[in-house]
Amino acid sequence: MKPDLSHEIELSPAFHDLDPMDIVWHGNYAKYLELARCALLSKFDYDYPQMKASGFMWPIVDMRLKYVRPARYGQKLRIRAEITEWENRLRIDYRIRDADTGHKVNQAHTIQVAVSVETREMQFVCPRVLWERLGVMPG
């Protein structure tokens, strides 16, 4: 049985997240993705402190966002993060929806690669510790 590699969080944009047009400034979505990503990785006890302790850094090398609808101050948002690749890189797909209506606000993905803390060299295959934590050991 495949493990559930997803997690959802809920948040409401703060006043300081708004731009002069009274909508969430586009750059703040990266922060929202990070909050969802950390909650997802914590579910597997492999958030950033555990990654570093295992000998790997996981920098983001690609991030794509598509803005569908503006988010507003106080709007309840549901952010779903799901790990969709883990063999050679860690890809997480995101969907941000209005918590009340279900309307899509944003969709995105991030790609991270494993880098050895000791050698600073990028790993071309994800380390075994990631697979163990996710419960997706190769056959």
Instruction: Provide the token pair at 11.
Output: 């948040």
Tokens 């997803």, residue located: 6
CA distance 64 to 87: 20
Residue 11's DSSP bridge partners are 77
Please state, in angstroms and as integers, the Cα–Cα distance from residue 102 to each residue in 35, 79, 124, 136, following that order: 20, 11, 38, 30
Please tell me the predicted confidence (pLDDT) of residue 2.
81
CA distance 59 to 47: 13
Instruction: Provide the token pair at 71.
Output: 């988010």
Residues 57-88 pLDDT 10s: 999 999 999 999 999 999 999 999 999 999 99
Amino acid letter, residue 105: V
Q: Are 18 and 73 in contact (CB under 8 A)?
A: yes
* Full-model pTM: 0.95
Q: Is the model's pLDDT at 138 over the cut of 80? A: no
Q: Are 25 and 17 in contact (CB under 8 A)?
A: yes
Please tell me the predicted confidence (pLDDT) of residue 107.
98
Residues 44-54 pLDDT 10s: 999 999 999 99
What are the phi and psi torsion angles at 128 (to 5°)?
-55, -35
Query: For residue 112, what pLDDT band results from cuts at 50, 70 and 90?
Result: very high
Instruction: Provide the token pair at 132.
Output: 């163990």
